[in-house]
Structure 1
Amino acid sequence: MTATAARQQSVVWAAQRLRADLLSLMPVDVFRKVGRINVAVPTPQVLQTPSMWADGQPMTIGEWLSTSQMDLDAHGNAFGVIRQVDGLGKPALIDLVKIDTVSCTVRDNRIVSYRIGGEKTDPRFVWHERQFTIPGFPLGLSPIAHAALSIAGSAGAQKFATDWFASGAMPSAHLRNVDQAIPDPTKALMIKQHFLESTTAGEPFVSGKDWEYKPLTAKAAESGFIEQMQYTDAALTRFFGVPGDMVDVQTSTGSVTYANITQRNMQLLVMNMGGAVKRREDAISTRILPSARFAKLNRSAVLAMDPATRAELFKIQIESRQIAPSEARELEDRVPFTEEQYAEFDRLFGSRTSNPSNTPPVGQS
C-alpha cells in the first residue's frame, strides 16, 4: 500500500478536488470591528502571496488555500514552515511542506516539538492546521479516518477502530525514544508490550520520557477500511461532506433538482463547506492577524446566481434602500451611469424625480 491508496476510488479524489477548488476561489478579506460594523481594512501581503515557488514566482493565496486544503482532507492536517515574521511577530511567509516529512513529539496531549525533514523545529515556527479532531489527541484526522473511529454500529466496526493500524509485511508505526537510545533489548521489548497493551485497550500510553509516534500505514488502513466495509461512492461522498450529484455520483432518489443555481450553491457552502471555511478563517485570524482584526473568506465570490435571480436580488436591495444603484453596478463590474445615460432614461421612462407639489400625503390617494 502507498500513501495514495485511499484515492484509488475516484470519488475520493473528486470530493477532495471540489473542496480545494472552492476554497481557492474565495478571496481573503480582512476587517476590524468599529462599534457593531465590520470595516474592511487592507489585506496584508501574506494573505495575498503567502509563499514563493522561486524568486519572482509568488504562490498566490488561492494556490496556498487549495494545496493546504488537499492535505487537510487527505490527512486531517496541513503543515508549513514560517520563514519570515512581521514587526508584530506574526507570520509573513509560510512555506507548505509535505506531510510525509513531518512528525510530532507529544507530551500530556500537547505537541511540544515538530520534526520536519528530520530537523527538530520549534512549534512557534510551524504552521499547523487540523480538522476532525478528537478529545485528547492534538492531531487531526482525515474524513475517512474520522468515520472509521466514529462509526460504531456493529462489533466489526468497533474492532476495526482498535486494530486500525494493523498491517502485515511492515510495522504499523515507529515508537522512538526522543531523548536517548534504549540499549537493552529486553527493556525495549517491555516498553513495546506496554505500549501495545495500552493502545489496544484504548487507554493512554504513559512513559517517563518523551516519545515520538509516527504512524506508517494510516493511509493504507484507510484504503483497507473502504475496501473492507465495501462503501459505495454515495457513502464516500458523505464522509467528505460533498453532495453526490456534484461529483457525478448517482443518488438513491435519482437526479437532484434545484429551483436555481443559487439555492444549490448556498446548500453546498453553508451545509457542506461551512465548517471547513470557518475553521480556516479562525486559523488565519488567530495566527496571522493582530487581535483587533479578523479574516473572512469571501463566500460570495463562488455564490453564483443565474442572471434573472441576480437581477431580482439587486432590484429588491435597491428598492429597500439596502444598496444604491451605483453599488449594484460596481458589483456587476460596470462603471457608474453618465449624465447622458441618465438623460436617456428620462426620455424613455420619465423624469427621475417627481414634482413634490403633486405628491399626495401619505395615506391619501
Structure 2
Amino acid sequence: MSLFSPRRTRSAGGGMSVPPPGAARLFGSTAVTNETALRHSAVWACLRLRADLISTLPVDAYRKVDGVQVEVPKPPILVNPGGERVGIQEWMYSTQFDLDRAGNCFGVITERNALNLPARIDLVQLGDVRLSDVDGEIKYLIGGDTYRPEDVWHERQYTVPGLVVGLSPVAYAAWSIGSYLSAQDFALGWFGNAAIPAAELVNSQKTLSQREAMIAKTSYEAAVRAGGLFVHGNDWELKPMQAVDSQTRFLETMQFGIPDIARFFGCPADLIDSAAGGSSVTYANITQRNLQLLIMNLGPAISRRENALSNLLSRPRFVKLNANALLRMDPQTRAATIKTQLDSRVLTPSEARALDDRAPLTPDQLAEFDRVYGSPRTIPTGATS
C-alpha cells in the first residue's frame, strides 16, 4: 500500500497530491523534477546556502553530568559517516541538500558497531527510493532491493500527519519553478532565433508564388551567410522581428519569480542577491543579520538534525551542532563582547585568550603587564567591584 492510498507504491520525493520525482510535472514544454529544478538559479542558491551553512557547523557529542553539559569523544560515525572517503561535512551537505529540496534523505546502513548502532551509512539517490506501506508495515525499495526500516537511514522534513515521508518543496513550488524555466526556454529560443524568424522580407508590389518566395529566401540567406549584399529593387522591404509586448512581460517572470522561490525554500531573498524590488532592510552589523537568519530560517532545521543524529549515539549522549560558528562577529564587536564578559566575570582571561587560540598568560607576560600598566587594583575580601 502506498503512502497515500491503500494499494500503491509511490516515490518518497513527492507530496500528498503531486507526482513523485520520477513522474515529472509538465509546464508548457518544461518538465519540473528534482533535477531540472536546479536549473533555476534561485533554487540552486537557496539549497546551496542552507546546505553550506548547516554542513559546516561543528558536530559535537555531549552528555549531562550533574546537570552540566559535558563534551565526550565523537564516535567514528560522526567523523566519517560514509566511510573513509565521505567525511561528516560532505555527508551533512548531501543530506541537507536532499532534505531541503525533497523533504527526505535516505541511506543504507551498511555497518554497525558493538552496540548495534549504525557505524556507516551509504547515502542513496532520491530517485532510486520507493516506499510501500501495507497494513502499517513499511518497506523501502532501493535500486531493486527491499530493505526493512531498521536497515535504512531516513530523515524527514516538512512532515504532516498520516504521511511517513516529508513533503517536497520542489513538488509544491513546481508552478513557480515551471514558469521560470518556461521563460528561460523562451528567451533561449528567441535570442537564438529558433522560436521565431529573425526577419521578415516583404514584397510590397506583388503576391509571390511559393516558388518565388523560396528563391527570394534562398538568395537572402546566402547573402547574409557570406556577409555579402542582398540586391533588390523598391519592391522589397526588410523588417527585423521584434518581441511583442506580451512576450516581453513574460520574460519579466524570471525576475519576479525569484522571491517566491526563496519563500518555498526558507531562504531570505536578499541573501541570494534577489531582494524584492523597492524593499530594503538594514542591519546594524553582520552578527545581527546572521542571528535573524539562524532564528527564523536555520534554527528549526538544525534542531531536527540534532535530534536525528543523536539516534546514532548511545543514551544519554546527544549531538549538538555548534551554531555559534554561524554568528561570526566583526573584530570590534567581538572584542567588545569579550570585554563585557571579562568585566562581568562570566569569562576568565585564560578562557578569553583561548577563544583566539592563545595560550594562557605566562608569568613573564603577567610581569610585563604590571610594568607597563601597573599592578591591578586590589579588591578587599568580601567587597564587590
Query: Do Structure 1 and Structure 2 share a fold, with TM-score over 0.5?
Result: yes
Work out which of the residue numbers 307, 315, 318 in structure 1 matches 2:339. Answer: 315
Q: Does 1:291 align with 2:353?
A: no
* AA at the equivalent of 1:249: S
Q: Does 1:41 align with 2:66?
A: no
Partner Cα separation in structure 1 for residue 81 and residue 379 of structure 2: 57
Q: Does 1:124 align with 2:150?
A: yes
Q: CA deviation at 1:104?
A: 0.8
SS for the counterpart of 1:59 is coil
Partner Cα separation in structure 2 for residue 222 and residue 236 of structure 1: 7
Q: CA deviation at 1:227?
A: 6.6
Segments of 5+ residues of structure 1 without an aligned counterpart are: 149-219
Q: Does 1:102 align with 2:129?
A: yes
SS for the counterpart of 1:106 is strand
Q: Structure 1 stretch 96-105 or stretch 110-119: which is displaced more? A: 110-119
Q: Counterpart in 2 of 1:9?
A: 40
* AA at the equivalent of 1:41: V
SS for the counterpart of 1:50 is coil
Q: Residues 97, 362 of structure 1: CA spacing in aligned structure 2 closer, same or farther, 3 A cutoff?
A: closer
Q: Counterpart in 1 of 2:192?
A: none
Partner Cα separation in structure 2 for residue 341 and residue 328 of structure 1: 16
Deviation readout 1:293-351 (Å, 9 max, x if unpaired): 11111111221100011111111111222121111111111122222211111112111
State TM-score, norm by structure 1.
0.72
SS for the counterpart of 2:130 is strand
Q: Counterpart in 2 of 1:208?
A: none
State TM-score, norm by structure 2.
0.68
Q: Counterpart in 2 of 1:278?
A: 303
Work out which of the residue numbers 247, 251, 259 in structure 1 matches 2:276. Answer: 251
Q: Residues 250, 360 of structure 1: CA spacing in aligned structure 2 closer, same or farther, 3 A cutoff?
A: closer
Q: Counterpart in 2 of 1:29?
A: 60
Aligned residues: 283
Q: Residues 274, 225 of structure 1: CA spacing in aligned structure 2 closer, same or farther, 3 A cutoff?
A: farther
Work out which of the residue numbers 126, 130, 141 in structure 1 matches 2:167. Answer: 141
SS for the counterpart of 2:48 is helix
Work out which of the residue numbers 307, 313, 327 in structure 2 matches 1:303. Answer: 327
Conserved? CA contact 1:31–1:38, under 8 Å: yes
Q: CA deviation at 1:226?
A: 6.6
Q: CA deviation at 1:352?
A: 3.2
Q: CA deviation at 1:355?
A: 7.3
Q: Does 1:86 align with 2:113?
A: yes
Partner Cα separation in structure 1 for residue 383 and residue 325 of structure 2: 43
Larger radius of gyration: 2
Partner Cα separation in structure 1 for residue 272 and residue 334 of structure 2: 26
Partner Cα separation in structure 1 for residue 352 and residue 326 of structure 2: 17
Q: Does 1:328 align with 2:359?
A: no
* AA at the equivalent of 1:234: P
SS for the counterpart of 1:139 is coil
Partner Cα separation in structure 2 for residue 257 and residue 239 of structure 1: 23
Conserved? CA contact 1:105–1:114, under 8 Å: yes
* AA at the equivalent of 1:299: A
Partner Cα separation in structure 2 for residue 35 and residue 29 of structure 1: 19
Identity of aligned residues (%): 48
Conserved? CA contact 2:176–2:257, under 8 Å: no
Alignment of 1:124-273 (within 5 A): 124-145=150-171, 147=172, 223-224=177-178, 232-273=257-298
Q: Structure 1 stretch 93-102 or stretch 335-344: which is displaced more? A: 335-344
Q: Does 1:74 align with 2:101?
A: yes
